[in-house]
Amino acid sequence: MARKRDREVKSWYEAPATAVCPLCGRVVPEDQRDLHHLVPKSRGGRETQVLHRICHRQIHALFSEAELEKSYPTIPQLQEHPAIRKFVAWVRKKPPGFYDGTRKSGLRR
């Protein structure tokens, strides 16, 4: 027999919303969610976006905090960069939970 408390807990519990990575457009599993500060926190940024861990790490492998603040403070601006476009084209073919160690890209500029 179910306890009254169990029914009460189930009545207010809401499953986490499905997050979609704004960079690559794939669903982000809970264990792969990273919060990305659009303007780095160290430079006063407060707004964040949920990204795949692999997408988040690739951004930080390619750009310094100064570059992120001045040239790439939005997702659309990031998506315009050739190295990010190439990365997104590659990662879109991977399953949502895919993760591979991120390396510095030779396509930095």
pLDDT value at 108 more than 80? no
How many angstroms separate the CA atoms of 59 and 83, rounded?
Answer: 10
pLDDT value at 26 more than 80? yes
Give the predicted TM-score (pTM) of the model. 0.76
Q: What does the pLDDT read at residue 54?
A: 94
pLDDT in tens, 49-105: 999 999 999 999 999 999 999 999 999 999 999 999 999 999 999 988 888 765 555
DSSP 43: G
Cβ contact 12:79 at 8 Å: no
**Tokens (6 digits) for 100:** 């591979």
Q: What does the pLDDT read at residue 96?
A: 83
Q: Which domains, ranges and CATH numbers included, belong to the chain?
A: 18-91 (1.10.30)
